Amino acid sequence: MKNAIKHSIPQELQQLEERIHNRSVCVGIYGLGYVGLPLALRFAEVGIKVIGFDIDQTKVQLLNSGSSYIERITPQTIQKAATQGFTATSDFSRTENVDALIICVPTPLDAHREPDLSFIINTVEAALPYMHAGQLMSLESTTWPGTTDEILAPRLHVRNLIPGKNCALVFSPEREDPGNPHYGTKDIPKVIGGTTNTCLQLGQALYRLAIQTMVPVSSTKAAEMTKLLENIHRSVNIGLVNEMKIVADKMGINIHEVIDAAATKPFGFVPYKPGPGLGGHCIPIDPYYLTWKAREYGINTRFIELAGEINHYMPHWVVGKVADALNDRGKAVKGSRILILGLAYKKNIDDTRESPAVEIMDLLQSKGAHIDYSDPHVPVFPLKRGYHFDLKSVELTKPNIANYDCLVIATDHEGFDYELLQTYAMLIVDTRGCMPKRTNVISA
């Protein structure tokens, strides 16, 4: 296999193939967040030298001192990676020392809910002056189909770097699932598409060092679309079940009972759970990357956008349920003390990106409520664009629980003592269906 690859690639890329084959390759990971850091640690784990790049000096200093800023990654893991050759830096001139550049930076939406590629572009522009022939660039950030060919490739050309000739360019979407005990970085099959067949071969050879299964597709566009389909599939189905929840609530039907019953069908049904809205960096954002690009082709993606509207509405639905529940007890939202349980976007993790809990807090506070939160995974409210809460997590003691007019379960962490909550809370609004219905428990 080595010789087959070697003879099929241009001379300037043969040295790269050799370094990959003999495991002397140096990998640069650009963006050391929930995606980039686990990938960097995985390459280090299998003996590959890794340089991690991040513009956040605090992250760089923590990593180089053997500390971690992600709950599920222990300091011991960071320290072990350092002994295996992992180091972090904010100095992009060190790009000239890496053989592969893997870009794992955010792709948010702007104020108009349109794609914001500034993190990708800024990263490439910062690295570009130090790039040279014989390097491989891989984009992992979720984006619209065509980004790799239309945004990255032309910038490489400016440096006389031609994918497939004297450099390699691939797209291989991240598939991290924080908190999943069954699938880590190495276990999740890696979809990958190359600008040319040579690029694809080299990209697969690189990732195969750290990840068990490769899933090659015909182009970078196909790989980009694959990631969008994965997340739009979830967005649409969650939108459906959230709408069903609203209908069932009006009819006095427990939607969770219905879902459990439907899930007994051994074919043709996949259970999705409703909630207070979508969270995480992918599902609330990624569908809009496709709807934006589809307009270039004269296509209106009504189905996708409708699901987005429903999911975006859910925090407002929850706030309405809180207001109704307080009103039934002779209280107004204004002046009420409300405790949000769970700040992370899903249970048992510390990731608060796009968490609907934050939107619920903001909506309730705007109506005059006094807001606190409790989350064992998020001790201090993190810095967030557009939200300003100077808060620390409240300990769930008996007096603290009884001190609030309403508790809102936004995230069903296993670390919460639900029996204690039910015993001492005056009112609980449960958005996750994790508590049995009692006189003081309202489903939302």
Catalytic residue annotation? 282
- Under 8 Å CB-to-CB from 335, ≥6 apart: which residues? 368, 369, 370
- Beta-carbon contacts of 252 under 8 Å, excluding residues fewer than 6 positions away, are none
Identify the CA nearest to 279 among candidates 66, 431, 393: 431
Cα separation of 175 and 206, whole Å? Answer: 17
SS3 168: strand
Long-range pairs, 30-33, Cβ under 8 A, ≥24: 30/54, 30/101, 30/102, 30/103, 30/104, 30/105, 30/123, 30/127, 31/103, 31/104, 31/105, 31/106, 31/119, 31/123, 31/141, 32/56, 32/59, 32/60, 32/63, 32/88, 32/104, 33/104, 33/105, 33/106
Instruction: Return phi, psi of residue 61, to 5°.
Output: -65, -40
Q: Distance between CA atoms of 419 and 398, rounded to whole angstroms?
A: 11
Q: Count other Cβ atoms within 10 Å, centred on residue 249.
A: 17
User: CA-to-CA distance for 145 and 223, rounded, in angstroms?
Assistant: 8
Tokens (6 digits) for 247: 């209908």
